[in-house]
Amino acid sequence: MPDLAHIHHAVEEWSGHDPYAETLTEQQVADYWRDGFLIGVPVLTDAEVDRILADIDEVSDPGHEGREFWYEYNSDATSTGGTVQGIGGWRVRQSLHDLLWHPRITSAFAQIMNAAPRLLFDQLFLKPPGQSGVINWHQDYSYWTYSQPMNHVTCWVALDDADLSNGCVHYVPGSHKWELLQRPTKLMQDVGSIYEQLTPEQQAQFTPVPAEVKRGSVLFHHPLMIHGSHPNTSDRPRRGTTIHAMADGTRAAVDEPTIDGVPAWLMGGAGPFYPMTENPQGPLLEGTYFPLLRKV
């Protein structure tokens, strides 16, 4: 099967959407900048979610076609503390690929960033029923400091109703205005190591809110937003997929691994992030692996 990274538009056009209609109201954009996140923007129909879930079921077989295109893929949740994580699914299955170009998502990116959005990477977070599935409190940008300047937005797409019982994402309102903190050593185990780094004032303001969201709706969050999630204690799955977008013109400024223990796709000559340099005017993140998602 072909590597879908070479196709920089939805293979199947999203019908019924004006590609340049604004998704967010002015108030929503202002809320995003005040709180650091937005909860529950409707995007996908049930049938569209079903297509994505069918593709996700297919790639849960470790021998699936296109396995070589993932940057990272671990379908065995028992070895990751309970969450199946995959990075690069847009290269592997059409539904994950086309999702990047959904007009309601790309328009919201452009509205929030006030720039044309490009893909940094996409990422699956699947919590099977009855397993732990903790995501430690973290700021996404602590993994991406090589990509500068910081003008990024993450869209988290709910593929199931996500609530307290199945481990929905939680946000700490206002924490995007705090400084960049150290990343946790273990992203998918423990919850709380970031807390020790907070000032007493920040600890007093550390009041996470659950981002409960309906299947087919999405969350948006700022790259410095502190977020994480608790175990899925229910008998239902909690599946989500994220699109991490950055403004067109972002450069790779630092040469360092950005995901603990998984440097190959970032560091190796064969990886899409190669070459990276210590030059803040380093190479533009563009080309095959960093497609433009929409013009301004």
Ligand X SMILES: O=C(O)CCC(=O)C(=O)O
| Residue choice 4, 169, 246, 259 for contact with ligand X (CB under 6 A) | 169
**Per-residue contact string for residues 70-109; x = within reach of ligand X by CB under 6 A:** ----------------------------------------
Q: What's the CA gap between 271 and 264, in Å, rounded?
A: 7
Structure tokens at 240: 């989500």
Contact 138, 194 (CB under 8 A): yes
From CA 171, how far away is CA 227, in angstroms rounded? 5
Report which of 147, 130, 124, 145 is spatially closest to residue 239, judged by C-alpha positions: 124
Q: How far is the CB of 127 from ligand X (least distance, A)?
A: 7
Q: Applying CB under 6 A, which of residues 14, 73, 101, 125 lies at the interface with ligand X?
A: 125
Q: Examine residue 155 and tell whether it contacts ligand X (CB under 6 A).
A: no
Q: Which stretches of 129-232 are assigned E, i.e. beta strand?
A: 135-138, 147-148, 152-158, 169-171, 209-210, 217-221, 227-229
Residue choice 37, 137, 156, 171 for contact with ligand X (CB under 6 A): 156
User: Is residue 160 a contact residue for ligand X (CB under 6 A)?
Assistant: no
| Residue 135 makes contact with ligand X by CB under 6 A | yes
242 binds ligand X (CB under 6 A): yes
How far, in Å, CA of 277 to CA of 273, rounded?
A: 10
Minimal distance, residue 177 CB to ligand X, in Å: 18
Is residue 143 a contact point for ligand X (CB under 6 A)?
Answer: no
Site string for ligand X, 2-41 (x = CB under 6 A): ----------------------------------------
Please report whether residue 229 would count as binding ligand X according to CB under 6 A. yes
Q: How many CA atoms lie within 13 A of 56 on its CB side?
A: 25
> Using CB atoms within 10 A of its CB, is residue 155 exposed (0-12), middle (13-18) or buried (19+)?
buried
Return residues touching ligand X (CB under 6 A).
125, 135, 140, 154, 156, 169, 227, 229, 240, 242
